[in-house]
């Protein structure tokens, strides 16, 4: 459990060191052409959150659906963006055809695993471990 706590802390410190939040300037996402994008997409690339040509998937607050109610300057922040290749990104959203082969949509567990930002994995592990460990600690505390 301590390792997952350390991984979470490391992820948070790394994100803060990169400048984890953009608080000024344009907060646009869809600009064309992709490789010359201005605003948030360009900033994420400059900060190392997205590689050239990589898709930015909104992992926690989606772009559409209920996410339309979330302002762009919130949902386009690095904590919500996961860089993915085109095939993985396509399979999160539905079936994806590559080289004439139709690949199925990922199942719900795969969509969460591949579609959420990296920092969420140690956070989930840490919270799960702490919740499993809590009853044991409470019982031990009562014995004293």
pLDDT digits (tens, 9 = 90+) for 20-51: 555 445 544 444 444 444 667 778 888 888 99
Q: Which phi and psi angles does 102 have, rounded to 5°?
A: -90, 115
The pLDDT, as a whole number, for residue 20 is: 52
The pLDDT, as a whole number, for residue 75 is: 84
The pLDDT, as a whole number, for residue 98 is: 94
- Residue ranges per structural domain of the chain: 2-143
Strands (DSSP E) contained in 5-144 are 55-58, 81-84, 96-98, 101-103
The pLDDT, as a whole number, for residue 32 is: 47
Low-confidence ranges of the chain (pLDDT < 50): 1, 4, 16, 19, 23-24, 27-37
The pLDDT, as a whole number, for residue 92 is: 97
The pLDDT, as a whole number, for residue 94 is: 96
Q: What predicted TM-score, i.e. pTM, was given to this entire model?
A: 0.62
> What is the distance between the alpha carbons of residues 105 and 42, in angstroms, rounded to a whole number?
29
The pLDDT, as a whole number, for residue 76 is: 82
């Amino acid at each position: 459990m301590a390792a997952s706590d350390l991984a979470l802390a490391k992820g948070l410190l790394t994100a803060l060191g990169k400048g984890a939040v953009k608080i000024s300037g344009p907060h646009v996402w869809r600009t064309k052409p992709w490789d010359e994008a201005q605003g948030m997409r360009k900033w994420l690339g400059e900060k190392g959150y997205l590689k050239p040509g990589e898709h930015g998937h909104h992992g926690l607050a989606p772009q559409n659906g209920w996410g339309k109610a979330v302002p762009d300057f919130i949902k386009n922040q690095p904590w919500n963006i996961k860089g993915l290749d085109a095939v993985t990104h396509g399979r999160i959203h539905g079936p994806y055809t590559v080289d004439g082969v139709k690949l199925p949509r990922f199942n719900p567990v795969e969509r969460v695993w591949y579609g959420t930002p990296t920092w969420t994995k140690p956070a989930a592990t840490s919270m799960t471990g702490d919740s499993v460990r809590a009853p044991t600690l409470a019982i031990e505390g009562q014995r004293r």
